Each structure stands twice: as C-alpha cells, then as structure tokens.
Amino acid sequence: MPGMSVYAGFYKVGTPKKGEYVFVSATSGAVGQLIGQFAKLEGCYVAGSAGSKEKVDLLKNKFGFDEAFNYKEKHDLNAALKRYFPEGIDVYFENVGGKMLDAVLLNMRHHGRIAACGMISQYNLDEPEGTKNLLQILYKWIQIKGYMHRNYYHLYPKFLDLVLPYIREKKMVYVEDIVEALKMVQLPLLDFLVVATLENEWLLLLVNDAIIHCMNVA
Ligand SMILES: NC(=O)c1ccc[n+]([C@@H]2O[C@H](COP(=O)([O-])OP(=O)(O)OC[C@H]3O[C@@H](n4cnc5c(N)ncnc54)[C@H](OP(=O)(O)O)[C@@H]3O)[C@@H](O)[C@H]2O)c1
C-alpha cells in the first residue's frame, strides 16, 4: 500500500522532472523514504525532514537523499527550507501538514506542485492548525492536489514492472524491522488473524471473526 501511494503520488500527482527540486516531509516513514528514492532515480535533487538524528543519518547514508534535517530542532522551518532549497522547491510531497505546509508554501517555486498524500500532524488535533500562507498559491501559480492510493490500483502491474528490477539491482533499498519474539506467538496469531476476499473485489482482515479492515482491490 505505501508503495502504490508513492507510485501514484510520484508519477501521477507530483510528476517531478529530472533536475527539479523535491522536498518530502515525514521522510523516514514508509511513504517518504520511497518517494526520496524515486526522486533520486529520476535525477532530482531531494531533501527530507524527519524527527531524529538517527533518521536523518539513515536518509542521507542509506536512502541516498541529498540533504535531510531534523524538523524538531528547527524552530524556524522557513529558514531551514531556504537553506536546503536556495533555488526553491518544485515539488513538495506533503505527509504532515500544519506548520510545515505553511513554511513550504513560502519556499515553492513558480508552477510548483504539491502532492497531498497525508497530514499526519493534524489527525489527532481537536482543532486543526490554520494555514497562513495560502496566498502563495496565487502568486506562484502553485497546484495542490490530494489523492488516495486506492484510486490507482489499476496501475499496480506497472508499479511492479518498475520497482522489482530496481530492488533486484539494489538500486532501491529498504530496512527491515524483525521482532524475533513474535515467533513464540505465531500460531495463536494465525488462528485469530484471517485475510479473506469477498467477490474478488474486497480484501477483508478479520480478527476473531470481526472485520477490522476492508480494502477494495477490484
Ligand atoms: N493518500 C494515500 O493514499 C496515503 C496512503 C498511505 C499513507 N498516507 C499518508 O502518508 C503519510 C505518511 O504515511 P506513512 O505510511 O509513511 O507513515 P508512517 O510510516 O507511519 O510514518 C509516519 C511518520 O510521520 C512522522 N510524524 C508523526 N507525527 C508527526 C507530526 N506531528 N509532525 C510531523 N511528522 C510526524 C513520524 O516520523 P518522525 O519521527 O520522523 O516525525 C512517523 O514515523 C501519512 O500522513 C499517511 O496518512 C496517505
């Protein structure tokens, strides 16, 4: 699912071109780290924000980002973005919203595109934060487009054609988080966690016979 979110957001919404300046927020997450790798493979300059030094190191040393910074240490996000994007941002992959979006708007280039994938900083707020710099959309002819991965599943074979050779050739990398302790509860887990399909159109995840998630895969 994160892979398809990235593929749709990159090739159908943000559409960065070779040599363009790309910024990604929540970069160490499942979506952000892939966006950065796609951007590098397409010949873009890419920088990202993450919430710790370890994540910033990972982005630069493992995932090949040109630059990365810890947004929690930057009290002036506008100044931080100016430092990493002196020429401005052509494409912003929006994963967090809020203050970051406000700062990005000030740093977008003319005809810039914002692919709104998510706004994780806003989901749990009682009152969503306001966005002050929307006038930049007008001044700089910026396009903002939201999207959902589920609307692009017809492109899944194309996604695999692109990404599998990259993985085999080690041009795309990933990190694994393996929890050995789960081995001990493997059987009980399998007993109560069931994946089923409904009319070949819906994928259902059931726990103890209750549907906890369903996804349209038609
Ligand atoms: N449109 C779609 O179809 C689609 C599909 C999948 C996901 N999404 C969205 O894409 C975004 C990223 O998803 P993901 O799967 O990559 O998530 P993830 O793997 O769970 O990573 C999310 C990361 O966001 C950062 N974060 C959490 N709270 C934050 C805050 N208040 N401000 C800034 N950063 C924060 C955290 O990293 P740090 O510790 O570095 O802050 C966290 O590791 C989310 O907004 C999600 O809802 C959209």
Please give the model's pTM, rounded to 2 decimal places: 0.85
Compute the distance between CA of residue 137 and CA of residue 110 in angstroms, rounded to an integer: 9
67 and 97 Cβ atoms separated by less than 8 Å:
no
Is the CB–ligand 1 distance for residue 167 below 6 Å? no
CA atoms within 13 A on the CB side of 90: 15
Digit-coded pLDDT (tens) for 101-124? 999 999 999 999 999 999 999 999
The preferred substitution site among 31, 33, 122, 123 for testing ligand 1, maximizing ligand atoms within 8 Å of CB, is 31
Cα torsion angle, 141, 142, 147, 151, sign: positive
Which CATH topology does 2-168 take?
A: Rossmann fold (3.40.50)
Residue 153 token pair: 């599943």
Query: Is a pLDDT exceeding 80 seen at residue 43?
Result: yes
Phi, then psi, of 93 in degrees rounded to 5: -95, 105
Query: Is a pLDDT exceeding 70 seen at residue 210?
Result: no
Extents of the domains making up the chain: 2-168, 180-216
Is the CB–ligand 1 distance for residue 5 below 6 Å? yes
For the chain, helix, strand, coil in percent to 5 are: 45, 25, 35
